[in-house]
Amino acid sequence: MTQLTQSEIESIENKLRQRQHALLEEIRAELDERENQHLAAIMDNDPGDSCDISLADVLADLNIVRVDRQINELREIETKLAQVRAGNLNECADCGMEIGLQRLLAYPTAMRCVSCQERHEQMYAHEGHPSL
Ligand SMILES: [Zn+2]
């Protein structure tokens, strides 16, 4: 497995955080005033580093169907950020082989190498997953 350089890791992490931020903005825009206050209260309780709580879980608990898509993507991002911290962000979740750097830069939340992803999509094709 190729070790990613610090700057490669940082550029992937930056992409993830930008996307995370954009998703939270989208979610906020979807929420009504009451839900927004609820969310703001949750986020205010967070002691600084939001890494250790899952905002996706918190939001899923609010059970707001219209932001389901955003919450799912947020969850993927949180999973990937955990891998960044664990130092295995380029390890395929299925076969343990390396996920190429170019693939990670193009799809920062990619959990699988290209061949495992193709197999996964064939298995779950009927669910209409977007092609990575
Ligand atoms: Zn694989």
- The tokens for 60 are 């899923």
Residue-level pLDDT at 60 = 85
**Residue 113 CA, ligand 1 centroid: distance in Å:** 4
| Residue-wise pLDDT tens digits, 40-55 | 777 776 554 545 678 8
Query: Quick one: how far is CA 59 from the chain centroid?
Result: 14
Q: What is the pTM of this model?
A: 0.80
Residue-level pLDDT at 97 = 95
| Residue-wise pLDDT tens digits, 34-93 | 888 887 777 776 554 545 678 888 888 888 888 999 999 999 999 999 999 999 999 999
Report the C-alpha gap between 123 and 132 in whole angstroms: 14
- The tokens for 36 are 């927004």
Domains and CATH numbers, the chain: 6-127 (1.20.120.910)
Residue-level pLDDT at 128 = 56
**Residue 122 CA, ligand 1 centroid: distance in Å:** 14
**Residue 112 CA, ligand 1 centroid: distance in Å:** 5
